[in-house]
Amino acid sequence: MADLELTDDVPPEADDGVWLTCIECGETFAPFDAIRYTCDDCDGLLEVRYADLPTFDEFEGRGVWRYNAALPFEEGVTLPEGDTPLHRVPRLEDDVGVDALRVKHEGMNPTGSFKDRGMTVGVRVAQEVGVDRLACASTGNTSAALAAYGARGGMETLVLLPAGKVAAGKIAQASLHGARILEVDGNFDQCLDIVQDLAARGEAYLLNSLNPFRLEGQKTIGLEIMESFHADHGEYPDRIVLPVGNAGNTAALYKCFRELVKAGAITEDQVPKLTGVQAEGAAPMVEAIEEGAEDTTRWDEVETRATAIRIGNPVNAPKALPGIRATGGTAVAVSDKEITAAQRDLAGEGVGVEPASAASVAGLRKLRREGEVDGSESVVCLTTGHLLKDPDAAAEAGAEPEPVPNDTDAILDIIDDGSSSVGKSVRRQAGKVADSPSLPALVAGGLGLAYLYRKLRSKR
C-alpha cells in the first residue's frame, strides 16, 4: 500500500536537499544521477521529496517560479506560466447553490492548459540529466505543451497521439511548435505503453505525468488556489473539484497540501476536499473510489466527447486515491450531456473552456443535487483547458451562425423578428444618445480636439 507520509529523514542520496522516494517500498534515489521514472526495485511510483518545506511567506514573484522554494530548481524553461485567474462566477454560484464558487481557469496558461506548469519544471530536469529527445503520449494538451517547451529549450520532441481522438487546436499547436507527431491506431493508454517502452530503451525522455517532476510544477495550482482564495475570501476553500484523466493533478494537489501541512503553513482541517470528476465512459477512478480499491482496474474500452480525459488506466491512481480519501473528498462520473451543459454555463459567465474542463462544474452540480456537497461549502472548480483547444466541440455546444443578406434593413427585419431584445435595447439606447442635449457638446468637443491636433501638427 502506498505510503505518502513525509518524514524528517534526509537520505544520503539527497542532492541539495532533494531526492526521490518510492511510494510503495520506501527506497530512495538521488534525483538527477540517472534517468528513472519508477522505482528500480519494485516499479512503484516515485515522489520528489525535500529536506526543507516552505511556508507562504517564503514565496515571491509571479507564476510557477514564485514557488521555487517548493521546487527542485530556482528557475526553469519558462514562457512564463501560472498566475492564472480565479474567476468569480456569481450566477453559477447562485444556480449551483453553494456559499462561494470560484473557477481556477488553467486554460489561461501559455499553451492553453495546466500542462505548462509541469513542463516548465520537466524540461528543466531534462536539461539537467542531459537528454535531447523528449517524448509523451497525449490526449492533446500534453503534446501541445511539450512541443512548445521543447522548442523553447531547443530540444527534439516526439508525441504519440490516439488517431482521430485529439481535438484540432491541440494537434495544430504540437505541429506548429515542431513536434514529430505519430498517430497511433489505438487509445491514449496504448500510446503511453509505447512511450514507456521507448523511454525504457533509452530512446527518449518521458514527460508524461508518470514523471514525478511534472507533478512538482503542477502542485503550484494548489499553492495559487490557496493564496488567491484566501486573499479574496478570508479563508481557504472547503473543496476543490477537478477533472480526472491520468490523475496527475489530483496527485499533485494532494502533495501540495501534505507539504503545506508538514511545513506548518496550514492545519490538516484546512486541507480542501479533493473531488475528482470523470466522464461516464472513462471512469476507472470513480469505480475504484466506489469499490474502496487501492488501485484502478484498467478500462480497455473508453469513450467520451471530453477527449482530454478519455483515459482508462490512470497511472497516478496510487498517489491520487489516498488523496481523495484522506481529504474527505469523493469521485463522480458525469454524462457528456452534463459536460456540454456545464461548458455552456461557464461560457455564459464569460469563461471559455474545453469539454474536459467543464466536467468539474458538471460534477459539482451533480454532487450538490445529490446532497453530497453542502450548500454552506466554499468550492473551487478547476478548468484545465481553453475553449479554443477544441473548436469543434465549442461550435457544437454554441449557437448556429445565421446566414443573412448583405443588407442592413433585411438584417434589422431578421433581428427584430427573433427574440433579439438585446438589439432593441441597444437601439433604444442609441436613440436616447441622439436625442440627448449633451450630444452637440460632445460633437463640439470632438471638433475642438481635432482642430487643436491639426494646429499642433502644422507647427512641427
Q: Is 248 in the site for ligand F0G (CB under 6 A)?
A: yes
Burial class (CB in 10 A: 0-12, 13-18, 19+), 235: exposed
Distance CA(27)–CA(11), nearest Å, equals: 10
Minimum CB separation of residue 357 from ligand F0G in Å reads: 5
Binding mask 116-155 for ligand F0G (x = CB under 6 A): ----------------------xxxxx-------------
Residues in 181-240 that interact with ligand F0G by CB under 6 A: 209
Judged by CB under 6 A, does residue 81 bind ligand F0G? Answer: no
Residue 111 makes contact with ligand F0G by CB under 6 A: no
Choice from 113, 173, 196, 378 touching ligand F0G (CB under 6 A): 113
Are residues 215 and 193 in contact, defined by beta-carbon separation less than 8 angstroms? Answer: no
The C-alpha atoms of residue 247 and residue 264 are separated, in whole angstroms, by 26
Please choose, from the candidates 148, 142, 127, the residue with its C-alpha nearest in 3D space to the C-alpha of residue 75: 127
Residue 388 contacts ligand F0G per CB under 6 A = no
Minimum separation from the CB atom of position 102 to ligand F0G (A)? 18
**Which x/- pattern, by CB under 6 A, does the window 315-354 give for ligand F0G?**
---------------------------------------x
Q: Is the dihedral of CA 29, 30, 32, 34 positive or negative?
A: negative
* Residue among 28 and 383 whose Cβ is closer to ligand F0G: 383
Within 351-380, the residues that bind ligand F0G by CB under 6 A are 354, 356-357
Does 45 participate in binding ligand F0G (rule CB under 6 A)? no
Binding of residue 244 to ligand F0G (CB under 6 A) = yes
**String of contacts with ligand F0G for each residue 390-409, x by CB under 6 A:** --------------------
Dihedral of the CA atoms 246, 42, 198, 213 (nearest 10)? 50
User: For 17-23, which contacts have Cβ atoms below 8 Å and span 24 or more sequence positions?
Assistant: 17/50, 17/51, 17/52, 18/48, 18/49, 18/50, 18/51, 18/72, 19/48, 19/49, 20/46, 20/47, 20/48, 20/49, 20/212, 21/46, 21/47, 21/49, 22/46, 23/47, 23/318, 23/319
Asked if 308 interacts with ligand F0G (CB under 6 A), we say yes
**Distance from chain centroid for Cα 125:** 21
Q: From residue 159 to residue 178, what is the string marking binding to ligand F0G with x (rule CB under 6 A)?
A: --------------------
What cell was used for 54? Answer: 516552505
Closer residue to ligand F0G, CB minimum distance, 45 or 244: 244
Judged by CB under 6 A, which of 342, 385, 393, 397 binds ligand F0G?
A: 385
- Give the start-end residues of each E strand in 138-272: 156-162, 180-184, 205-206, 239-243
Applying CB under 6 A, which residues contact ligand F0G?
113, 115, 138-142, 209, 243-249, 308-309, 354, 356-357, 384-385
